[in-house]
Structure 1
Amino acid sequence: MTLALTDVSADLGGHPILHGVSLEVVPGELVALVGPNGAGKTTLLSVMSGDITPTSGQATLDGVELHRWKVAALARQRAVLPQEQRLAFGFRAVDVVRMGRAPWARLPEEDLDDLVVAEAMQRTDVLGLADRSFPTLSGGEKARTSFARVLAQQTSVVLLDEPTAALDIRHQEQVLSEARRLAADGHAVVAVLHDLTVAAAHADRICMLADGRLRADGPPREVMTPDVLGEVYGHPVDVVDHHGRLVVLPHLIALTEEDPCASVLS
């Protein structure tokens, strides 16, 4: 399943957020959406999921506009990990993961529910939390449980909004390794990431947004240059190669008694 946006613009509350964004995500690749705060990353992911309909342009999955898909059919093709993990009731962790199987109810795939849920929880290191009430989990545990729900949904397209935000180093690597595994298995995976070094290490492709526009799109080594990053983020950086991995290092800001916002150290 190919996810394609063509000249997409989108508003929120009457305010324009996205402006003429075009990109395509194909099976077998992990795409990282990066950019400064307010660049439009979450809005773009919402357009990709079908939760927001563009004010102009087209967003399609398998050649069909997302707003034309039936809800249940779309839920069997794309899964979404939102930025915030909120539940109104005290469901157990295993019940939250099982929610990912809802689109397959009354279909032959339903017979695999128990197996799929257990495997998803194993892959995200939350099997030991199965009987815990979701609200009692830490932020990182909630994030991993919600990611397990996404895995259990078994969709062609996987959309992740800041999947590593609440995680320690080990679990960041675990989650992104699972995202890479999904891509290697033929899924189309999109992840909003703030850590540029992490994005460069795991993504096949970087889509960089600024002011609601796609400013760069390509392999990490082509997109993540000091000039591009400095312009988009409004701050100078160095990009170094560390054992074959790109590391992004922001320049430090020097503070002086005379001028608390003095200058940027190179």
Structure 2
Amino acid sequence: MTLQLTDVSAELGGHPVLHDVTLEVRPGELVALVGPNGAGKTTLLSVMAGDITPTSGTACLDGTELRRWKIADLARERAVLPQEQRLAFGFRVVDVVRMGRAPWARRPEEDLDDVIVAESMRQTDVDAMADRAFPTLSGGEKARTSFARVLAQQTSLVLLDEPTAALDIRHSEQVLSRARRLAADGHAVVAVLHDLTVAAAHADRICVLADGRLRADGPPAQVLTPELVAEVYGHPVDVITHQGRTIVLPHLVPIDQEASCAPVH
């Protein structure tokens, strides 16, 4: 399914956050949303999920506005990994992953629940902790468990908000490799990422947000220029190519400037 946003603006608490954003996410591609803190990335992902209705413009999935989708139908077409992994009760890991199968209850697909849950846990390396209570997990273990829930949901559109924030190198690569596999298998995948080098290594396209506006949209090598990155993030960078990969290196802050910013006691 194709996700289309046309001239989308959105507010939070009466405060404008997004301004006239137009973009399309097609099946078979992994799109990275990047930008400085407060750029509107999470809000944009919420609009894509149908959790926030635009104040103007349209957000459509498969040609139908998200606000017109029935909740149950939408849950079978898009899955969301939020920034924070919170649960009110001490569910076991396997039960959390099984929550991803809820949209398929009382349907023929329900017969595959056990197999899909087991495979999703294996792919995210949480199968060995199946009986552990979710609140006892580390931040990274919670993130991997929640990603397993997203995989178990088996949707056409997958939305990931900072999926690697709490993960070590091995598991970060594992999650993003799985996201790339989803795209290769025909899913549409959107991931909010902070590390520009990581985004460039895995994404087919990078969308740069700043002040709630889409500043650039295209292949990593074309979008991540020193000029644009420095302007958007307010910090100079070098962009180099190493073994075919785009690498973004921020300039170091001189020690004397760093000291001048330290609080006085």
Aligned residue pair count: 262
Percent identity (aligned): 82
Q: Which runs of 5+ in 1 are unaligned?
A: 262-266
- Corresponding position of 2:197: 197
- Confirm whether residue 66 of structure 1 aligns to residue 74 of structure 2: no
Q: Return closer, same or farther for 1:258/1:249 CA change in 2, 3 Å cut-off.
A: closer
Cα distance, 1:149 vs. partner? Answer: 0.2
Q: Return closer, same or farther for 1:258/1:161 CA change in 2, 3 Å cut-off.
A: closer
Farther off after superposition, 188-197 or 240-249? 240-249
Q: Return closer, same or farther for 1:258/1:67 CA change in 2, 3 Å cut-off.
A: closer
- Confirm whether residue 179 of structure 1 aligns to residue 184 of structure 2: no
Letter in 1 for 2:196: L
Cα distance, 1:256 vs. partner? Answer: 2.0
- Corresponding position of 2:148: 148
> Partners of 1:257 and 1:241 in 2: how far apart?
29
- Corresponding position of 1:79: 79
Letter in 2 for 1:238: D
Letter in 2 for 1:225: T
Cα distance, 1:259 vs. partner? Answer: 7.1
> Partners of 2:11 and 2:206 in 1: how far apart?
24
- Confirm whether residue 26 of structure 1 aligns to residue 8 of structure 2: no
Cα distance, 1:242 vs. partner? Answer: 1.6
- Corresponding position of 2:115: 115
- Corresponding position of 2:134: 134
- Which deviations, in whole Å up to 9, do the C-alpha atoms of 1:2-49 show, x marking residues without a partner? 000000000000000000000000000000000000000000000000
Secondary structure of the 1:155 match is coil
Please list every run of at least 4 consecutive aligned residues from structure 1 whose deviation after the TM superposition is greater than 4 angstroms: none
Structure-to-structure mapping, 1:1-266, within 5 angstroms: 1-256=1-256, 260=260
- Corresponding position of 1:264: none
Letter in 2 for 1:260: S
Q: Which runs of 5+ in 2 are unaligned?
A: none
> Partners of 1:217 and 1:117 in 2: how far apart?
35
Q: Return closer, same or farther for 1:254/1:113 CA change in 2, 3 Å cut-off.
A: same
Secondary structure of the 1:253 match is coil
> Partners of 1:257 and 1:55 in 2: how far apart?
42
Please give the root-mean-square deviation of Cα atoms over the aligned residues, in Å.
1.3
Secondary structure of the 1:91 match is coil
Letter in 2 for 1:214: L
TM-score, with structure 1 as normaliser: 0.97
TM-score, with structure 2 as normaliser: 0.97
> Partners of 1:20 and 1:50 in 2: how far apart?
17
